[in-house]
Structure 1
Amino acid sequence: MVGNPPGTCGSPLVVVPALRDQYGQDWPFPPVEGPDQPGHDTTWLIFIPGAYTPVCMSELEEVGDLARQLTDMDVGLRLIAPDSAQVLRMVTDQLGLEVPFLSDFWPHGAAAKYYGVLDETTGRPKRVSLLVDRAGTVLEAISSTSGARKMDEHLSVLQKKT
């Protein structure tokens, strides 16, 4: 969806991210809760540059364990990638993932751009994880420029906050 919020006449157009999960269901933005997914006080948004790349697949192989630990801590987890919902479904089925994997396919990269993690050169998000509150405000961030993120870093950040 494209349009100006009320009272912003003449401002650049705001693109509202239109996310869909691996089953094709629409998700609200920010994606802290969705179809059959309760909201949490905090949620990790893990941006994945490309679902079927070797580094991303190595990260995704660790996500199942992370998701179980976060559930015990009452913290949400959402994966977000620029791939189509159909590709994300193939990945979740292949890896047996039971977490929402959201497609930021069209408008292309709108969620990544909203959070300032879109690499404009490649059209893909940077390798960044954001801890957000219910309103979608960023509380913490984890990033990597040289390889896979270690999923246990997400737990370390939460332990430091308590």
Structure 2
Amino acid sequence: MAVNVGDDAPDFELQDQHGAPVRLSGFRGGKNVVLVFYPLAFSGVCAGELSRLRDELPTLGGEDGVQVLAVSVDSMFALRAWSDREKFPFPLLSDFWPHGGTAERYGVFDGGKGVALRGTFIIDTEGVVRWKVVNAIPDARDIGEYRKALAGL
């Protein structure tokens, strides 16, 4: 089942790269969320996308009004190693078990490959999906589109 613009974002709780629980609903009333699903840590296109998010976070609203949450099926241990190496300032969330369960709830899980598609959902402070894009696994997303969508909130 796909999540569409105008829908309430399905709540979830996943562990970040440090093993701490992160719940989507914890940002309600405080921050807009850029929820980024990506296939795998340590892969070329994923590294490029998340590095660009890291580098351009201040132009998206930074720590003040925007929270980036990046989700993959990797274990928290792999995510910790990758985050430490790349110095990502946002949580990398492990959708490891049930395998891809959160990606599936958002309609971006590729069951044949066992990984998430490149899906991004911008969720406002009330928990409503205000923008989304879903790209195939090899196709990088345009961060400029994130900026435009966030400016419209």
- Shared topology, TM-score over 0.5? yes
3-state SS of the aligned residue for 1:94?
A: helix
User: Does structure 2 conserve the Cα–Cα contact (< 8 Å) formed by 1:32 and 1:76?
Assistant: no
3-state SS of the aligned residue for 1:62?
A: helix
Runs (4+) off by over 4 Å: none
User: Does structure 2 conserve the Cα–Cα contact (< 8 Å) formed by 1:83 and 1:105?
Assistant: yes
Greater gyration radius: 1
Mapping of 1:114-133 within 5 angstroms? 114-133=105-124
User: Does structure 2 conserve the Cα–Cα contact (< 8 Å) formed by 1:84 and 1:105?
Assistant: yes
Are positions 1:60 and 2:50 aligned together? Answer: yes
User: Does structure 1 conserve the Cα–Cα contact (< 8 Å) formed by 2:34 and 2:67?
Assistant: yes
> In structure 2, what is the equivalent of residue 7 of structure 1?
none
User: Does structure 1 conserve the Cα–Cα contact (< 8 Å) formed by 2:110 and 2:116?
Assistant: yes
TM-score (norm 1): 0.76
Are positions 1:21 and 2:11 aligned together? Answer: no
Choose between structure 1 and 2 for higher RCO, CA contacts under 8 A separated by at least 6 residues.
Answer: 2
Please point out which of 98, 103, 118 is paired with 1:112: 103
> In structure 2, what is the equivalent of residue 148 of structure 1?
140
Q: Give how far 1:17 is off.
A: 4.8
Paired letter, 1:151: I
Whichever structure has more helix as a proportion of its residues is 2
Question: How far apart, in 2, do the equivalents of 1:95 and 1:41 lie?
Answer: 24
Task: Give percent identity, aligned residues only.
Answer: 30
Q: Give how far 1:133 is off.
A: 3.0
